[in-house]
Structure 1
Amino acid sequence: MKLRLSILTISVSTLIVPLSAATETHQLVSTPQSANKNSTYLNWHNLCLNADTDTIDTQIKKFESQIAIHPNDNLAKAYLGSAYALRAKSSTWWLTKLKYLNKGKATMNAAIAAAPNDPRVRMVRAIAYYKVPKRFDLRPTSISDFKQIIPVALKNASPLAINERQAILYYAYLAYEDENLKGAETFKQACYKLNSSSKYGKLTRP
């Protein structure tokens, strides 16, 4: 599938989330600041998709400059971590790949540690980690992140935009299907119903 080649474009064990996980999930909040900046960060990040290393490095510098000015901007950190992972993917030398992958992991994990209740931060890591090859053993963390944000994506009064909710549901569908977990088809259908004419809607058309 084409979108398996990217990490982002806006790249569990059961359908019923356990009570403890569901309680934690509904405490997730989205701040106005992250919502306002998300579009800019997303545009920077999207320029990294299937790009050459020079282009990715330019976008990485933008994120790093933003974080230097606003060190507590955890959404920027999450996107920076994903950009590092894309830099690893675009590199040819294995030591360079490993260096950037480790930087990506550390940066995204730090963003989650600082903002565990921000669904956008978890969305970035969930999708990024899903795209990392399985041999690096990041898929369990991706599934855990999806478990926390799926209820937010399904909620009618969600603080997330429609395209963000669809991105979560689409990649959750892929991740659950890959792992043979229950719920994949439900997420696919929910994604389609949110906006059948969008990119994700077309990808989940029955």
Structure 2
Amino acid sequence: MLAGKSLIDFAAQLSSTAPVPGGGTVSALCGYLSAALALKVCYLTLAKEQYEASHTDMHKVGGEIEELKVELLGLMDEDAAAFAGVINAYRLPRRDPCEANKRKEAIKQETLKAAFVPLRTAEKCLQLLKKIPVVIDKGVPGAVSDAGVAAHLAAAGLEGALLNVAINIKGIKKEYVLELEQRIAQINEEKQDLMSHLLRTLKMG
């Protein structure tokens, strides 16, 4: 389980020639760290009585971010498992036409799975980005930079995940590709709008 490794062990495996973890796992990790940092701002705010007027909002958004944090942690391992599935499919024998066809179908199915896992990561990072404006608006002013870093981490996780989707769909038939490409474009557009708003808010603060 990658999520259970120490930072040093994880980085050592990441920088090795091992096929996993890779960019998809790191994208989910960016989202996970973003959620953790956003939660820090929530808890700092909840710990201060002078921000009691913000406590209801912070309880609500904090609970939602906590759920996303758990999901993103799980996606770290899911992404590694999905990529391992693709590798195993490529290793299947193809000694005769029957085996070759089975291998080809397995590669297609595993590649499709490997495309949808980072798509989920991107969607979770987008959901997280949508929560961060509340954290910035209602959070302790002294921790606004933490919320800003959380936003950038979520955006990085989203962009990295979409890059992995784009790479994986190259080997998939067109009927799947169009749907995924449309979703990629939609997520990217929403991300750009959110980040533009967040950056303006941070500069005004």
Q: Same fold (TM over 0.5)?
A: no
Indicate the structure with greater helix content: 2
TM-score, with normalisation over the residues of structure 1? 0.33
TM-score, with normalisation over the residues of structure 2? 0.33
**Which structure ranks higher in relative contact order (CA pairs < 8 Å, sequence separation ≥ 6)?**
2
